Amino acid sequence: MPRRRRLRKVVAPPGFKGYKPYGHKENNRMVELNYEEYEAIKLADYDILNHEEASKLMGISRATFARIYESARRKIAKALVESSEIKTVFGNAHLDNDWFLCTSCHARFNQPESNTNACPICKTNNIEPIINND
Ligand SMILES: [Zn+2]
């Protein structure tokens, strides 16, 4: 029987698909950072929330938050030390809303302009849904 995967709430997806180091020899090394790991780093180290607050926002236990956060930090450290590319992958996250990415201005938003399917920032139609199989 397949194990059920618990979904973690991610308030907003990362605004990039990955990071690439420069100034080193090309090496094809890559670290996959899940959306929920990105969110854990954002909440704890950017928004400076404590683990209790952060775990509530993500709809998970404090212990689970601590595990995701630890994993995120290790992956980022590994990428820095080994000059690896960081790729963001959906993981076990679910987003608060349906999010879209504008491929022209890179804005992220959750409601296209009504009926027009246009980016609310630059008004182009170059938008794509941010979906769970990246
Ligand atoms: Zn735009």
Q: pLDDT grade, residue 92 (50/70/90)? A: confident
Q: How far is the CA of 114 from the centre of ligand 1 (A)?
A: 15
Q: How far is the CA of 130 from the centre of ligand 1 (A)?
A: 14
Location of structure tokens 């995120």 = 72
Compute the mean pLDDT over every residue in the chain, rounded to the nearest whole number: 83
Across residues 78-93, what is the average pLDDT? 89
Q: What's the 3-state SS for 24-64?
A: CCCCCCEEEEEHHHHHHHHHHHHCCCCHHHHHHHHCCCHHH
Query: Is the predicted pLDDT of residue 41 greater than 80, yes or no?
Result: yes
Which one-letter DSSP state was computed for residue 102?
A: E
Q: How far is the CA of 131 from the centre of ligand 1 (A)?
A: 18
Q: How do residues 44-71 score in pLDDT, each as one tens digit?
A: 999 999 999 999 888 889 999 999 999 9
Domain boundaries, the chain: 29-95, 96-134
Other C-beta atoms closer than 10 Å to the C-beta of 68 total 25
29-95: CATH class: mainly alpha
Kindly report the pTM of this predicted structure. 0.69
Q: How far is the CA of 16 from the centre of ligand 1 (A)?
A: 14
